[in-house]
Amino acid sequence: MSPSNPLPDTDLSESAPDADTLTKAQLAELLYQQIGFNKRESKDLVDAFFDQIAERLIQGDDVKLSGFGNFQVRTKAPRPGRNPRTGEAVAIAARRVVTFHASPKLKEAVQSGRALDEEPDAAGAP
């Protein structure tokens, strides 16, 4: 627990398939441990959260999470391409892609190593 984060510190490293990756199951486990939801509620909340984001993106809507970033759906035009193995020209079809742009607040938190809700000290040290 840190002064700026009232939630207890949780180590999921033993259950992590890859220590550098946070999975949906681990996120649900964090909600269970830190907020006190039961495991079913935690899983349902995580699933509902991501389902809502996906549903909005499928509809073509932007998803803006204040202090975190924005998800957008962009349409890419068809373009010529080349098969890297054969060198043969191929047509790349038009498609829709999801882009994510981190907020300045998230970028600063990642750069400084501080939590999103942590304020820099007066000296500006991380």
Question: What pLDDT sits at residue 9?
Answer: 52
Question: What pLDDT sits at residue 4?
Answer: 43
Residues forming beta bridges with residue 81, ordered by sequence position = 90
Residue 120 lies in a domain: no
Residue 49 lies in a domain: yes
Q: Are residues 66 and 94 in the same domain?
A: yes
Phi, psi (5° rounding) for residue 20?
-95, 10
Could you tell me the pTM of the whole model? 0.71
Tokens of 97: 């892609």
pLDDT in tens, the chain (126 residues): 444 444 445 554 445 456 789 999 999 999 999 998 899 999 999 999 999 999 999 999 999 999 999 999 999 999 999 999 999 999 999 999 999 999 999 999 999 998 888 776 644 555
Question: What pLDDT sits at residue 2?
Answer: 44
Q: State the residue range of the domain holding 93.
A: 62-112
Question: What pLDDT sits at residue 74?
Answer: 97
Question: What pLDDT sits at residue 20?
Answer: 87
CATH number at residue 23: 4.10.520.10
Question: What pLDDT sits at residue 19?
Answer: 73
Q: Are residues 51 and 30 in the same domain?
A: yes
Q: What is the 3-state secondary structure (H, E, C) of the chain?
A: CECCECCCCCCCHHHCCCCCCCCHHHHHHHHHHHHCCCHHHHHHHHHHHHHHHHHHHHCCCCEEECCCEEEEEEEECCEEEECCCCCCEEEECCEEEEEEEECHHHHHHHHHCCCCCCCCCCCCCC
Distances (CA, A) of 120 to 1, 108, 123: 18, 10, 8
Residue 91 lies in a domain: yes
Q: Are residues 54 and 86 in the same domain?
A: no
